[in-house]
Structures are given as structure tokens and as C-alpha cells.
Amino acid sequence: MSLDVQNLSFAYEQRVVLQNVSFTAPTGQFTVILGRNGSGKSTILKLLAGVLPFHSGRVQAHGQDLRRLSGSARASLLGYLPQFHRTVFPFAVQDVVLTGRAAFVLSTPGPRDRKLAQEAMEELDLLPLAERPYSELSGGERQIVLMARILAQRPRIILLDEPVSHLDLAHQQRLMRLLKRLTQEGTTVISVLHDPNAALLYGDHFVFLKEGRVIEPGGHPWSPTFMEEVYGVRTLAVPFGGGNLVIPEPAGGCHV
């Protein structure tokens, strides 16, 4: 299911964060949103996820206006992984995963909800942690648990805010491969990523943000010129696959 963003604008009180942002995230593809801190990346995801209300612009999933959807319709459409999360209550991991079913549960979850939560934990190798208190996990493990929560929710579009920034290399690879596989099975993934190299490795489609606006690469997106425009630093380009791996230039230049 594709997601169509048209002329989305947003301001926190007086501070304008997004101005007329438009892009399309194609069905079954991995769309990556890139840009510097404060460029509005997380805000876009929060608007798409319905965590923040928006007043200007339109977001359509397969032709349906997101703002018109009920809670459960939205939940079967969209899953959202927030940037950073902790809780004071030491809920068991399996209970946190089960909350992914919230929109489909009247009072308490039934056998089907428990089965879906179980499958999601299996998928992410979380079964050994099922009884562990969520609040005692590392940031990376918590991220995986919240990912399992999304899988239990079974949405057709998944929104992720910096999903790998707290993860070690092994967890990073596992999560990114899972997302890649989900896109191959038809799920649409939209993720904010800090690392342009991870974007190059796993992404299909890229949206670059600068100061709340979408900027288009004139030529090659991973070229040092465009990377400098996006991130404001000089980079070195190492040819890799269909693009370049990007290395920030060390102090005093670099002699390769």
C-alpha cells in the first residue's frame, strides 16, 4: 500500500518545522528519510503516525485520507516505532508486545492476539526474553521488543524513527534484514535513518530533508556535492554497488 504525502506543513507554536513537504512512499518499498538533526524527519513520522495532529496538507494511504480513519482502521494500516522509549513499570516483554493488539481488543486480548504476539516474538528471537522485565533491557533490546509489538499489530505500512541508532551491529543487521524482507512480502516501510550508508544498503527510495523542505538531488544522490548540501559537511565517496558509501572527511583533509 503506497503512502502519498501532499503539501504537509507543521509548526510547533511559532517555529516552522515542515514546509510543503510532498513525497510518495511506493508500495512494498523501503523509503528512507534523510537529513540533519532538526530538519523535520521525526516530525514527519509523527504526523504520519497520527501522534501529532496536522492542520495543513494531506496524507493518503491508497487513496484514503488518514485523518478520516478510525483508530482500529489506522492501526491495521500503520505501525509506528518511536525514537526512544522507556517505562517505569517492569512489564514483562510479552505483555509489551501484546499491547500491539490494542486497537483490536475490546477489554482484554484473546487467544488470537496472544498467538500473533507469540509469532512476532518468535520472528525476532525474543522468546528467551519473554518473561524478562522490559524496563531492565538495554536500549537496543527495547527497540527489538517495540518492533515485535509492531509485527503483532500487523500493519501494512511501518514507520520507524531511527530504528538502529541504539543497536549493535548484529542487531542492526537483523532488524534491517527483517524490514527488507517485510518489504519483499508487500509491506511498505518508511524509516528515518541517520546513516546514509545504511540507507544506501537497504533503501529503495530516498527523501532528503533540509530545514523542513524536501530537496532533490540534481545528479547522483550520494555525490559529495549533494551530501554536503544535505549534511553541511564535506564527505568522501567510496564507490559501492549502485552508489557511493559516504565517509565524513577527517580533520585536515584526507589523502587516499
Partner 1 sequence: MKRLSPGLFAALAIPVVLASLFVGPSDLVQARHIAQALTHPFSLPGDETLAMAREILLQVRLPRVLLAFLVGGALTTSGLSLQALVRNPLVSPDILGLSSGAACGAALALALPGIPLQPASFLGGLLAAGASYLLALNRRGLSILSLVLSGIIVGGVCTAILTLIQVWVDPFKLQTIVHWTMGNLHLASWEKLRSAAPLILLGLAGLYFMRWRMNVLALGDEETRAVGLNPEREKLFVLLPATLVASASVAVAGIIGLVGLAVPHMVRMAVGPDNTRAVPASFLAGGIFLVLVDDLARAITTFELPVGIFTTLIGGPFFIYLLKRSGAAFGE
Cβ 95 to partner 1 shortest distance, Å: 5
Q: Which position among 85, 115, 177, 181 is part of the footprint of partner 1 (CB under 8 A)?
A: 85
42/172 with CB nearer partner 1: 42
Q: Which position among 101, 198, 222, 235 is part of the footprint of partner 1 (CB under 8 A)?
A: 101
- Whole-number Å distance between alpha carbons of 170 and 163: 13
Query: Alpha helices of the chain — where are they, by DSSP H?
Result: 41-49, 71-77, 93-98, 111-123, 139-153, 169-184, 196-202, 224-231
When asked if residue 95 is in the footprint of partner 1 (CB under 8 A), the reply is yes
When asked if residue 144 is in the footprint of partner 1 (CB under 8 A), the reply is no
Q: Which position among 65, 122, 125, 136 is part of the footprint of partner 1 (CB under 8 A)?
A: 136
Q: Which stretch binds partner 1 (CB under 8 A): 132-140, 213-221, 225-233, 246-254?
A: 132-140
- Whole-number Å distance between alpha carbons of 192 and 176: 12
Q: Which position among 15, 55, 108, 128 is part of the footprint of partner 1 (CB under 8 A)?
A: 108
Per CB under 8 A, contacts with partner 1 among 152-191 are 153
* Packed helices 139-153 and 169-184: angle between N→C axes, nearest 10 degrees: 10
Residue type (1 letter), 77? L
When asked if residue 105 is in the footprint of partner 1 (CB under 8 A), the reply is yes
What are the CA-CA distances from residue 41 to residues 14, 184, 190, 210, 241 (Å)?
18, 24, 11, 9, 26
When asked if residue 90 is in the footprint of partner 1 (CB under 8 A), the reply is yes
- Whole-number Å distance between alpha carbons of 13 and 39: 17
When asked if residue 64 is in the footprint of partner 1 (CB under 8 A), the reply is no
- Whole-number Å distance between alpha carbons of 45 and 51: 8
When asked if residue 72 is in the footprint of partner 1 (CB under 8 A), the reply is yes
Residues contributing to the site for partner 1 (CB under 8 A) = 46, 49-51, 71-72, 74-76, 79-82, 85-92, 95-96, 98-103, 105, 107-109, 133, 135-136, 146, 149, 153
